[in-house]
Chain A
Amino acid sequence: DQQVKQNSPSLSVQEGRISILNCDYTNSMFDYFLWYKKYPAEGPTFLISISSIKDKNEDGRFTVFLNKSAKHLSLHIVPSQPGDSAVYFCAASKYGGSQGNLIFGKGTKLSVKP
């Protein structure tokens, strides 16, 4: 039973446009959500997070939106750049911010075309 779902395995976007990556979760106990970015042959790197007490968090070109009633979060990248091409993982925690025991989605491969 997958508790964190990324239903789009891949996404292709033109440079300069918006990339929207989606993530759904089933466990209402999750209270902290994170996005990681992963390049081939490297470990994931932290991108942005959001606590369940907020519905939006912004960091430069990256914004994460959380809709608790729908158990849905999304990552917006504006404007998209070719260097953003990577696999993006959504992750959740139910330990009040503890990041040592994360439940990950299967990832979405983003391709940004010049």
Chain B
Amino acid sequence: KAGVTQTPRYLIKTRGQQVTLSCSPISGHRSVSWYQQTPGQGLQFLFEYFSETQRNKGNFPGRFSGRQFSNSRSEMNVSTLELGDSALYLCASSFGPDNEQFFGPGTRLTVL
């Protein structure tokens, strides 16, 4: 069974640009969550989606948005990139919100 896949794995952008990251969950999983990992803050929750609906949202500015499609694939978008957005963005999927999460390898975003 294929794991959670995230594309792209690495990305370099400049300040002010926008970026879209993609996450394909494990087949059959309907719940997807996104996290941001930085050296200073550790892992911080961004959003949680289940059946195309956002269930929870973390404490991030409105520049961070996400969505989930009918096939459970999810995307997150960051607009007007700032240097501080440089981080590893991790996606996790689970069968449902109360089930064990499986993390993808992450997308390493560097903002110059």
- Produce 1/0 per residue, A38-49, CB < 8 A to B: 000111111000
Q: B33, A42: Cβ atoms under 8 Å?
A: no
Q: Is the CB of B98 within 8 A of A98?
A: yes
B33 surroundings in chain A (CB, below 8 A): 100-102
Give residues of chain B (18-51) contacting chain A, Cβ–Cβ below 8 Å.
31, 33, 35, 41-45, 48, 50
Q: How far is the CA of A43 from the CA of B41 in the complex (A)?
A: 16
Q: Which of A44, A99, A107 contacts B97 (CB 8 A)?
A: A99
Number of interface residues of A (CB under 8 A): 22
Q: Are A89 and B43 in contact (CB under 8 A)?
A: yes
Counting contact residues on chain B (CB < 8 A from A), the size range is: 20 to 34
Hey, which chain A residues are within 8 Å of B56, CB to CB?
100-101
User: Are B42 and A106 in contact (CB-based, < 8 A)?
Assistant: yes
A91 to B50, CA, bound (A): 20
Instruction: Report A's interface with B, CB cutoff 8 A.
Output: 36, 41-46, 89, 91, 95-107
Chain B residues with a Cβ under 8 A of chain A? 4, 31, 33, 35, 41-45, 48, 50, 55-56, 58, 90, 92, 94, 97-106
Task: For the A-B complex with A42-B105, A99-B98, A107-B43 known, give 6 more contacts whose Cβ atoms are closer than 8 Å.
Answer: A43-B102, A96-B98, A99-B99, A101-B56, A102-B35, A103-B45
